Amino acid sequence: MDRVEFRTCPERYRHWRLKVDGAVATLVMDVDEGGGLVPGYELKLNSYDLGVDIELYDAVQRLRFEHPEVRAVVLTGGKDKIFCAGANIRMLAASPHPWKVNFCKFTNETRNGMEDASAHSGQVYLAALNGTASGGGYELALACEHIMLVDDRSSVVSLPELPLLGVLPGTGGLTRVVDKRGVRRDLADVFATRPEGVGAAKAAAWGLVDEAVPRPRWEQTVAERAAELAESVTRADEGTHGIELTPLAKERTDTRITYRHVSALLDADQGTAEITVAGPEAPPNTASGPLFDADFWTLAVTRELDDLILDLRTNEPELGIWVLRTRGEAAHVLAHDALLLEHSDGWAAREIVLYLKRTLKRLDVTSRSIITLIEPGSCFAGSLFELVLAADRSFQLAGASEDFPDAEPAAVALGPMNSGPLPMGNGLTRLAARFHRDPAAFAAAEQAAGTALDAADAERLGLVTFAPDDIDWAEEVRLALEERAGFSPDALTGLEANHRFAGPETLETKIFGRLSAWQNWIFTRPNAAGPDGALRRFGTGRRADFDRKRV
Amino acid sequence: MDRVEFRTCPERYRHWRLKVDGAVATLVMDVDEGGGLVPGYELKLNSYDLGVDIELYDAVQRLRFEHPEVRAVVLTGGKDKIFCAGANIRMLAASPHPWKVNFCKFTNETRNGMEDASAHSGQVYLAALNGTASGGGYELALACEHIMLVDDRSSVVSLPELPLLGVLPGTGGLTRVVDKRGVRRDLADVFATRPEGVGAAKAAAWGLVDEAVPRPRWEQTVAERAAELAESVTRADEGTHGIELTPLAKERTDTRITYRHVSALLDADQGTAEITVAGPEAPPNTASGPLFDADFWTLAVTRELDDLILDLRTNEPELGIWVLRTRGEAAHVLAHDALLLEHSDGWAAREIVLYLKRTLKRLDVTSRSIITLIEPGSCFAGSLFELVLAADRSFQLAGASEDFPDAEPAAVALGPMNSGPLPMGNGLTRLAARFHRDPAAFAAAEQAAGTALDAADAERLGLVTFAPDDIDWAEEVRLALEERAGFSPDALTGLEANHRFAGPETLETKIFGRLSAWQNWIFTRPNAAGPDGALRRFGTGRRADFDRKRV
């Protein structure tokens, strides 16, 4: 199949309509049956595939940046009787394992992003279920702050994946039902094993939705609730202009992806993507006040990284190692960081930092080994030092190097961006997670903030893994990459998923760790995905043939 | 193969030697190469299989009950140069998926039990690694409070599973390295991808062990450290006699397992094990002071339940539903609970309660659906009510029933045992976990403690799932069992593993949730377990042939 492209814009949406009316936006899901991303299935009953979710992600992002006036987003359906039937089953049944896993990861991230908007951005999501929401349709609602279900004796919420398909809800459903909404575990068990679902009154009583609303009062009540939510938060001053997310310039071949600040060299033989991030060319221009537009370096580079991560994850599954480099001036990076934090009570700077936070979180749950190479001429400082902290291991070249004749020895620097604004999904900063059982080392690292740290300093402080000198550098890095490329890709995924999340767990890490790991296991089992499994037998009129052994 | 039997005693050990010298016990691992539980592999280099671990579990249990004088346990090896090479690779390679998963679960539980002894029982484990500890050998050490490694330029600790076998360490290794010992994540990454391991000095510097001890000072230092650990805790008064864990009477056929207080009816057609727990026949006899011996009801019933859980898990994988009933007097159960809690500052009562806690935790991580049926004549009160709270759903018969002509309507009761002494692995009581987002419901339930609750009361308080009356009872229960028996066993495992652990996560729940789930996934992947996978190719001289796609 063709490469999947994640860049889109409202003018090109086939499945969603975005309407903005003052402080309230309405996002209408109205899936084009014939608009599947891959041939072979029809998107009936407002079911979705990756293409539908790519549009949703774009809409969520544009609402945050282009619509500072919007404080409540009503998510509703454009069909009769059905809000959304969830992920398309024929698409799932026909998809190879890596596709299913990657699809679920992306949809999870989008839903987490909606929760992030409600929690941190003053843009609160309201699910207005004007018909049945089943499976992923109900999970989409679960990502909203408030769920309303029309009470009409036919509309239900349901999670029919287990009884009908032999798999789990793939987008955080089980976790959000018991952990976020606090539905009692035995009722959750009943709910997730009842394919016919639960109607409005009982759904409200069990805590599956917040409100059951009779059909005659539906539109008025939704409007009232949206207005209330919009009133409950603050966002930008009236009349504030949004930041237009102008089209992202990208060149893409089989071996290279190039944006303005970010580029990647794809090496199929080596199994690597060598990614280079360019720092800002100058300090931010504040002559006439800060200018947070789409060209502002932090926003531009974050958009590029975000697109690159999604592209590589989906289109280059055999590039198992991402090698990250930077080049530029650390001081310019830190100046951009400082300006953003100085203006963090304003919506625009806040949005940019929150977006960077979400993009870095994508790295944490990416099933690729991440190696940072800190060379002379690099600018791993502040926000860009998060790339080192997100890496599975890092190498900093000690001293001068013949390969970089004009550059000073490599240095790194911590800054305020490393101490709070960019937490991982587990709620800790990457620095705190790194030293979560070693408060002395954590304090020493924080004290070194603002100082340029050469390789010996950074190694001593535990901020980098290895600090080889010029003589050993090339050989040591080459061996590390070769060795890693020889390991089992699956085992590396499991290893990294465990090592990256030391410390506390949250709703988010439980979804990516516990829930997704079980789902991935089930996705490989013959009971679900085998020729006689439930996922493949669905709709054939034949029951699945299960191996009855409990594992 | 024959059924696996978990009952054993030191006289029958083939792989361990248990020596007690005052406050210090020494547990010497000295595996009999020819003593594998299943034909087809030799237990070389002190590698282990389920049979070796069954003996370890027995030893750990006996140390707690039969040796109140022991306050430090030295775990060491009986071979030259090697402490333990971990789980036997040929055994793993030849084992079907369910066996591997069940084996890892049991070994995990035993290691958690050692940590429980160190934390709560005043019996602290010391790993004296007198040679290389690799894979599961090092993971065994990780379960100890203090790890000493001989510094002799040849002994190492290592986790070679990923580079050599394409799987993860199966017994909590990754989690304990970063979460318990706080090893930095990048160093943990290096460690777990380096098959040759890490020698004593570096292992101590990285935090993988607590102490590197030169060979000449080895024995003296181990003895000193053991004495110090023993001094650091209190356990029982001097001269206290232990509780002998007398042989457990058990009758076992293909269709029935019978102990003194517990029995199970195995119904292969229905896919159920119908388990009945008999309450105490009388209040505890305290005429001449409390008598906490092996006949004391709580201890006896816990031992029986423990053995039954292990037997059913291992030998009856197709019985996917465990139906739990009780019969007896609630008052007698509560009287036994009260006596134990009254004497909880004494080692014996404390050990019994801790053992019950561990046994209930086994239920929480058991991959079977658990349904409790609360019928007239039952005694789901206090400690036995934990069975209801551990269940995926529960039915309480409302009112009188023709099927139980002589019994009062079914009632349940909460007691002090439900409010603290028996927490789940996530640190919450089952009652608190049930209502973790609903403090009002939690308070109402706690306030009802001590009251006999009929079906209507229990349902209203959210303590049971359904309360059908005599007319509906049989049909409703039958339908629930039939329906569940028709679902995908794998999907049920994933569902239950998520629903049962709402709320916080701990080292223990991370091991059973996040880590084990990833491991289970990897165990099903061709890259590990396929004919060309790393696990199967190990030792053949041929490299594994990997699908290089990262998932």
pLDDT digits (tens, 9 = 90+) for A438-451: 999 999 999 999 99
Q: Please indicate whether, in this complex, the C-beta atoms of B521 and A525 are within 8 angstroms of each other.
A: no
Residues of B in contact with A393 (CB under 8 A): 186, 189-190
The three-class DSSP label of residue B326 is strand
Return the bridge partners of A151, or none: A214
CA A469 to chain centre: 36
Q: What is the pLDDT of residue A286?
A: 85
Alpha carbon distance A411, A403 (integer Å): 16
Give the up-direction half-sphere exposure of residue A365: CA atoms within 13 A in the CB hemisphere. Answer: 28
| Residue B197 zone, left/alpha/beta (φ > 0; ψ -120 to 50; rest) | left
Q: What is the pLDDT of residue A301?
A: 98
The three-class DSSP label of residue B519 is helix
What's the DSSP call for residue A329? Answer: -
Q: What is the pLDDT of residue B1?
A: 66
Residues of B in contact with A499 (CB under 8 A): 174, 178, 185, 188-189, 192
Nearest to B551 among A98, A465, A499 (CB): A98
Return the bridge partners of B148, or none: B128, B211
DSSP characters for A514-525? Answer: IIHHHHHHHHHS
Q: In whole numbers, what is the pLDDT of chain A averaged over residues?
A: 96
pLDDT tens digit string along A351-369?
999 999 999 999 999 999 9
pLDDT tens digit string along B45-76?
999 999 999 999 999 999 999 999 999 999 99
Return the bridge partners of A265, or none: A256, A274
Task: Dihedral sign for Cα A57, A60, A63, A68, please.
Answer: negative
| Residue B396 near residue B374, CB atoms below 8 Å | yes
Of the residues B95, B193, B437, B498, the best mutation for testing chain A's interface (the one with the most A CB atoms within 10 Å of its CB) is B498
Mean pLDDT along residues A33-50: 96
Nearest to B521 among A500, A510, A520 (CB): A520
Q: What is the pLDDT of residue B291?
A: 87
Residues of B in contact with A436 (CB under 8 A): 182
Nearest to A488 among B166, B181, B496 (CB): B166
Of the residues A106, A266, A483, A488, the best mutation for testing chain B's interface (the one with the most B CB atoms within 10 Å of its CB) is A488
Alpha carbon distance B481, B484 (integer Å): 5
High-pLDDT (> 70) share of chain A, %: 100
Question: What residue type is assigned to position A204 of the chain?
Answer: A
Closest CA to B171 of B114, B94, B243, B234: B114
pLDDT less than 70: residues of chain B: 1
Q: What is the 3-state secondary structure (H, E, C) of A211-229?
A: EEEEHHHHHHHHHHHHHHH
ipTM associated with this complex: 0.95
Mean pLDDT along residues A84-102: 95
Specify the pairing of strand B16-21 against strand B24-29. Answer: antiparallel
- Axis-axis angle for helices A50-66, A347-364 (nearest 10): 150
Neighbours of B515 (CB within 10 A): 29
| Residue A174 near residue A148, CB atoms below 8 Å | no
What's the DSSP call for residue A165? Answer: I
| Residue B388 near residue B374, CB atoms below 8 Å | yes
Residue A513: which H helix or E strand, with range? Answer: none
Q: Please indicate whether, in this complex, the C-beta atoms of A550 and B317 are within 8 angstroms of each other.
A: yes
**Phi then psi dihedrals of residue B291, to 5 deg:** -120, 95
| Residue B11 near residue B323, CB atoms below 8 Å | no
Q: What is the pLDDT of residue A1?
A: 67
| Residue A183 near residue A244, CB atoms below 8 Å | no
What's the DSSP call for residue B544? Answer: -
Q: What is the pLDDT of residue A505?
A: 94
To the nearest whole Å, the CA of A165 is away from the closest chain B CA by 8
DSSP characters for B119-167? Answer: HHSS-EEEEEE-SEEETHHHHHHHTSSEEEEEESSS-EEE--IIIIISS
Residues of A in contact with B513 (CB under 8 A): 510, 513-514, 517
Residue B302: which H helix or E strand, with range? Answer: helix B297-315
Alpha carbon distance B237, B546 (integer Å): 59
Q: Please indicate whether, in this complex, the C-beta atoms of A500 and B187 are within 8 angstroms of each other.
A: no
CB within 8 Å of B123: residues ≥ 6 apart: B63, B64, B70, B71, B72, B73, B117, B233, B235
DSSP characters for A382-411? Answer: GGGHHHHHHSSEEEE-BS--TTSTTSPPP-
Helices assigned H by DSSP within B2-75? 50-66
Q: What is the pLDDT of residue A276?
A: 98
Q: Please indicate whether, in this complex, the C-beta atoms of B548 and A483 are within 8 angstroms of each other.
A: no
Q: Nearest residue of B to residue A371 by CA position? A: B186
Which tokens in the block code for residue B314? 């291992």
CB within 8 Å of B43: residues ≥ 6 apart: B15, B31, B32, B33, B34, B35, B36, B49, B52, B88
